[in-house]
Amino acid sequence: MSSGVSVGVIIMDDSWLIKIDNVSKVFKGKGMFRNEPEVKALDDVSLSVKKGEVLGIIGQSGSGKTTLGKLILGLLKPSSGNISFADISSKSTGTAKPAVQVIFQDPYDSLSHMMTVEQLVAEPCIIQNRKNVDTNMIYRALESVGLTPVESFLHKYPHTLSGGQRQRVAIARAIITEPDMIIADEPISMLDASIGVDILNLMLDMKEKMGITFMFITHDIAAAAYISDNIAVMKDGKIVEYGSRKQIISDCCHEYTRSLLLSATSGKTENEYFCSEA
């Protein structure tokens, strides 16, 4: 395995934010009595995240999709390969590297139950040592995610909110720092279907109004078809198929993608199930 690893900023055109070139990630086994075999979570993955798109990353558990997101966030380091960030003079950080935030799967676990909504939304700014965070910023963030009237939510704690409201707080936390990109890791899997659609529509609205780029990580190909511009299908740490939403839903080539489609439609035609294509 190559030991060459690079994570940096390079000057390119405005069509992309992040380029992932031949990235692999290997986790070394740790057994109590003997060494366990290494696990290759990502295997020679190459992908570009285009500016202003929603990129869907589809795959079942263990496919490597969450590992890919963690590498982009810097929570993990690649074992080999290159991750490059476009030089865009980020509005959030004032640096060349684009600012990336995250929405986690379960807002019940990702939000501190000891903090109020106001404190939770302000926290990312405090972590970034911003001195200009004020109540107006918090109000705007909460209004943007539909938590109105804001006054009725500011002093509540997460355990008093519904699942959908907690996820909206998590999204408000992500957008208050004005990120260039948000990685949404299974953001609707813990929610009822109708509430999940509301969250997807909220993300689409942010894409249009705020220009935020999204990487939408999910096992649900129907949700990806609803929200994504382009879709990458992952299996066993590899990207087995990539294309526009229409290409993946209507003209996929890989048998794994077809199996995901068949599982989702459950006997219905693709046009009946994937309403965004109708």
Q: Looking at the structure, give the CATH architecture of the domain made up of residues 5-99+178-277.
A: 3-Layer(aba) Sandwich (3.40)
Sequence-ordered alpha helix ranges (H) in the chain: 65-73, 107-110, 117-127, 135-144, 163-175, 193-210, 221-227, 245-250, 255-265, 270-273
Domain spans, the chain = 5-99+178-277
Q: What is the pTM of this model?
A: 0.85
pLDDT digit of tens for each residue in the chain (278 aa)? 445 665 555 444 558 899 999 999 999 876 665 667 888 999 999 999 999 999 999 999 999 999 999 999 999 999 999 999 987 655 555 555 678 999 999 888 999 999 999 999 999 988 877 666 778 999 999 999 999 999 999 999 999 999 999 999 999 999 998 999 999 999 999 899 899 999 999 999 999 999 999 999 999 999 999 999 999 999 999 999 999 999 999 988 899 999 999 888 764 544 444 544 43
Which of 73, 201, 197, 176 is CA-nearest to residue 123? 176
DSSP for residue 37: P
